[in-house]
Amino acid sequence: MTDGTKSRRVDIDPSLLPTFLAVVQQRTVSAAALTLNISQPAVTARINRLEESVGVALFERSVRGVEPTAAARRLEGYARSIQSLLDQAATSVNTQTEALGALSIVASTTIAGHVLPSLLARFRARYSQVPLSLTVANTKDVIAAIKQRQHHLGLVEGHGRAAGVRLVPFVDDELVPMIGRATRHTFARTSDLASLALLWRERGSGTRAVLARAFRDAGLPSKPRPTDIVLGSTEAIIGAAAAGLGVAFLSRWSARAQINSGGLRPIPGLDFVVRRSFRWAMPAGGLSPSAARFHAVASESPPSHVA
């Protein structure tokens, strides 16, 4: 080399990469530990070892959690590629994927319809022999089913905690107020929402719980009024809004399709968006082999509603 020095060789232990990716995604050591089913000190020790290997800090620590550095962002893409290649290699040399056992997933409506299909396709491409099933239920019933171990893995909307079930953030979402294409109303303030009927999901729905909290914070009624309508599915709410029966709060994941189809439109002049998270619902005792593989595949490259 021209300056007479040698480049420092970097040896990265691939076994540290799942921990690194979990921390990047979860933004806290505690959440990453829950996802990986290991202790927080173990997560910290693995990240410290990886930082020593690469010779740079990968996270900026604060009381609110951790934030990936620029170096971590560069490493993230390589880490996901390496994990994907390792999974493909394992699948290629191990044809006994039936040993993983069947995979039964239960998820709330929006997740089942708009988030899971691409993930299931990605999982099936690698583990073609694993029997798959997906049950759709509201958030309350998803949590109950996971607690009772009726399914291996769940996904829910909005909940932060539930006794006997581990709830771990997966991807973010927003609920957008929309009305039928032919509905004519002009809004200037959030309080103007009170002038229209609102379309609510049934009790036990994660969407309803999230909206109730957001409405309460905004000074709006936090439960259905006599002029509101309660409906038992997202599809029913979409149909009611398209017919001009009220305001539908739809996930970003499904709103784009409704806008493109021309049936619904965002409320003009109204800036009121409700943010929430989709969360994994995991049994307290840990994941089955097939559920653990699915979780790993989904976490490699989480989907996005803007993709």
| 92-120: burial string, b at 16+ Cβ within 10 Å, e else | eeeeebeebeebbbbbbbbbbbbbbeebb
What are the C-alpha distances in Å from 290 to residues 15, 101, 132, 253, 276? 20, 6, 10, 26, 28
> 177 forms bridges with which residues in the sheet?
249
Report how far residue 285's alpha carbon sits from residue 299's, in angstroms, rounded to the nearest whole number. Answer: 20
Of all residues in the chain, what percent carry a pLDDT higher than 70?
88
Phi-psi region of 88 (alpha: psi -120 to 50; beta: other; left: phi over 0): alpha
Q: Report the pLDDT value the prediction gives residue 188, as an integer from 0 to 100.
A: 63
> 165 forms bridges with which residues in the sheet?
162, 283
Confidence of residue 307 (pLDDT cuts 50, 70, 90): very low
193-204 residue pLDDT tens = 877 889 999 888
242 against 255, higher pLDDT: 242
Q: Report the pLDDT value the prediction gives residue 121, as an integer from 0 to 100.
A: 93
Confidence of residue 1 (pLDDT cuts 50, 70, 90): very low
Averaged pLDDT for residues 4-8? 52
pLDDT of 88 over the 70 cut: no
Averaged pLDDT for residues 92-102? 64
pLDDT of 145 over the 50 cut: yes
**Topology (CATH level 3) of domain 14-91:** Arc Repressor Mutant, subunit A (1.10.10)
Confidence of residue 5 (pLDDT cuts 50, 70, 90): very low
What interhelical angle do 17-26 and 29-36 show, nearest 10?
130
Confidence of residue 240 (pLDDT cuts 50, 70, 90): very high
Q: Report the pLDDT value the prediction gives residue 4, as an integer from 0 to 100.
A: 47
Confidence of residue 28 (pLDDT cuts 50, 70, 90): confident
Mean of all residue pLDDT scores within the chain: 84
187 against 130, higher pLDDT: 130
pLDDT of 151 over the 90 cut: yes
User: What residues does CATH 3.40.190.10 cover in the chain?
Assistant: 97-171+277-300, 172-275
Q: Which amino acid is at 298?
A: A
Report how far residue 265's alpha carbon sits from residue 238's, in angstroms, rounded to the nearest whole number. Answer: 11
Domain spanning 97-171+277-300: CATH 3.40.190.10: yes
Of all residues in the chain, what percent carry a pLDDT higher than 90?
30
Specify the CATH superfamily of domain 172-275.
Answer: Periplasmic binding protein-like II (3.40.190.10)
